[in-house]
Amino acid sequence: MAKLSISEQSLTTAEKLARQELIAMVPYQSARRLFSSADAQEDKIWLNANEAPGSGQYQLSATNINRYPDFQPDSLISAYSEYSGLAKDQILATRGADEGIELIIRSFCKAYQDSILICPPTYGMYAISAENHGAAVIKVALNSADLTLDLEGLQQQVGKVKVVFLCSPGNPTGNLLPQEQIIAAIKLFKDSAMVVVDEAYIEFSPEYSCAKLLSDFDNVIVLRTLSKAFALAGLRCGFTLANNDVITLLTKVIAPYPISAPVAEIASTALTTGLGKMTKQVQASNTLREQLNLWLTKQVWCKQVFASDANFVLFRCQSEQDKANIFDLLVKNNILIRDQSKQIQLENCLRISIGSKQEITILQQTLLTQLSAH
Ligand SMILES: *Cc1c(COP(=O)(O)O)cnc(C)c1O
């Protein structure tokens, strides 16, 4: 047997046996990894993960949990069908929209052969899931002037990718993509790639959903979640919407019992009797967002505020120093927002989730009173 080098000797068994590319991989820096919920004991104000400020109280009947749940609980799928206006066979319930992203990549991309396409600045999990699976990531940045799609850039990748991820409203940018651009992208990739429209935030601008495009195109997939407008991020429940041939394929890849019985029960309630509450909370959030947006434009340290159609606001600070001061001052005051400055085109940018009115007021007061002028 060959002699092991020093570095090989210091590897753990897991490291020796692992897929080598995973060893250097950095997992998604989720809001909850950066600041754990154990910190919640100190009364922190969480404005870093685009969660809704409060959810309803749900009673669980918790009967029959000695049995496996249905693969796709009918009450849940029926409720989402009613809510979305789509047929039940066009809906797959998943453990959050994140699982939908992973299933799509695993279903359409051959490992170490196929690629996905993303349009940064965008949601981080597309690239992480791809990397995890061994799919390459091709980037076509959004147009920097207005954060729309670079359709010419997309055209150049036709035939080279299997899945295209569009995010509308975009995270962390906040803007909707123009519907005609989304349709143009779907047409460009008609015979060669699935176009996924991530609608995690669509409840904040529901009239712009692309779900209606499912009747015209068979290479469209729409992602939804209960984590944002429905105020159920802790539940882990999302939906993949697509024509039935796509759904059938995804069911071959998903785990056998993806939706636990308590999750199905709470989610079904949220999608029926809870709809009014959700709509009210969305209206309150949209009003608060416009107020915060306007307030930000008036601050000397703020260089640019991005128009948002979702439950967060992205803004650019005048300088790197301003950005660091604002972020650190807020952390010191137990107010957590998200630093987006490492993303393409987002130098010195921070993102604030729209929490409760009180939380946003505290954030404003903290910045007004404690941020030293310079
Ligand atoms: C939050 C978010 C998701 C993930 O949602 P989960 O249902 O909580 O997994 C997916 N896409 C975007 C754009 C998001 O912001």
Domain ranges across the chain = 31-52+276-373, 74-273
Of 5 and 239, which is predicted with more confidence?
A: 239
Average pLDDT, integer, range 89-110: 98
**pLDDT per residue as tens digits for the range 114-160:** 999 999 999 999 999 999 999 999 999 999 999 999 999 999 999 99
Helix (H, G, I), strand (E, B) or coil at 216: coil
> What is the per-residue pLDDT for 372?
72
Which fold, 31-52+276-373?
Answer: Aspartate Aminotransferase, domain 1 (3.90.1150)
**pLDDT per residue as tens digits for the range 313-333:** 999 999 999 999 999 999 999
Rounded distance from Cα 11 to ligand 1 centre (Å) = 35
Rounded distance from Cα 372 to ligand 1 centre (Å) = 35
Does residue 307 contact residue 174 with C-beta atoms inside 8 Å? yes
Kindly report the pTM of this predicted structure: 0.94
Minimal-distance CA residue to ligand 1 atom 12: 200
Query: Worst-scoring range by mean pLDDT, 32-41, 43-52, 273-282, 307-316?
Result: 32-41
pLDDT confidence band for 221 (50 / 70 / 90): very high
> What is the per-residue pLDDT for 4?
56
Rounded CA-CA distance 341/99 in Å is 26
> What is the per-residue pLDDT for 274?
95
Average pLDDT, integer, range 271-276: 96
Does residue 199 contact residue 224 with C-beta atoms inside 8 Å? yes
> What is the per-residue pLDDT for 374?
47
Rounded CA-CA distance 13/82 in Å is 51
* DSSP designation for 66: T
Name the class of domain 74-273: alpha beta
Of 121 and 61, which is predicted with more confidence?
A: 121
Minimal-distance CA residue to ligand 1 atom 6: 96
Residue 6 has pLDDT above 60, yes or no: no
248 CB neighbour count, 10 Å cutoff: 12
